[in-house]
Amino acid sequence: GQQLNQSPQSMFIQEGEDVSMNCTSSSIFNTWLWYKQDPGEGPVLLIALYKAGELTSNGRLTAQFGITRKDSFLNISASIPSDVGIYFCAGHRSNDYKLSFGAGTTVTVRA
């Protein structure tokens, strides 16, 4: 089930803006992952984080693994129209067979 609180639920952004979203949990996670889902497609992995405090970039995307291991952040810089979609955070705890997913942040870009 979903044990991760993801916010905001949705956002409208201006092309060229930097945006942020985050994911929090009451549990400690050993791995944080960020996925993007384009309309009508399956989610695709963007960034994976494995150490507390880790900061990882993938192009205009930057994600951070929170120091407490209970949160993660995703930033998109200089947004463009193709950034439209749903962004999901996911976490993995040791001894768990599966990932836990957040409810998603829907991003819409104003041209």
Partner 1 sequence: DSGVTQTPKHLITATGQRVTLRCSPRSGDLSVYWYQQSLDQGLQFLIQYYNGEERAKGNILERFSAQQFPDLHSELNLSSLELGDSALYFCASSAVGTVDYGYTFGSGTRLTVV
Options 41, 59, 67, 111; binder of partner 1; rule CB under 8 A: 41
| Structure token pair of residue 89 | 């955070």
Single-letter code of the amino acid located at 79: S
Options 50, 51, 57, 81; binder of partner 1; rule CB under 8 A: 50
User: What strands lie across the sheet with 55-58, from one edge to the other?
Assistant: 5-7, 19-24, 71-76, 61-65, 55-58
| Structure token pair of residue 55 | 């900061």
What is the C-alpha to C-alpha distance for residues 109 and 72, in angstroms, rounded to an integer?
Answer: 23
Options 52, 61, 84, 103; binder of partner 1; rule CB under 8 A: 103
Instruction: Report the residue number, 20 or 30, with the smaller CB distance to partner 1.
Output: 30
Q: Which span sits near partner 1 by CB under 8 A: 19-27, 58-66, 75-83, 95-103?
A: 95-103
Using rule CB under 8 A, residue 44 touches partner 1:
yes
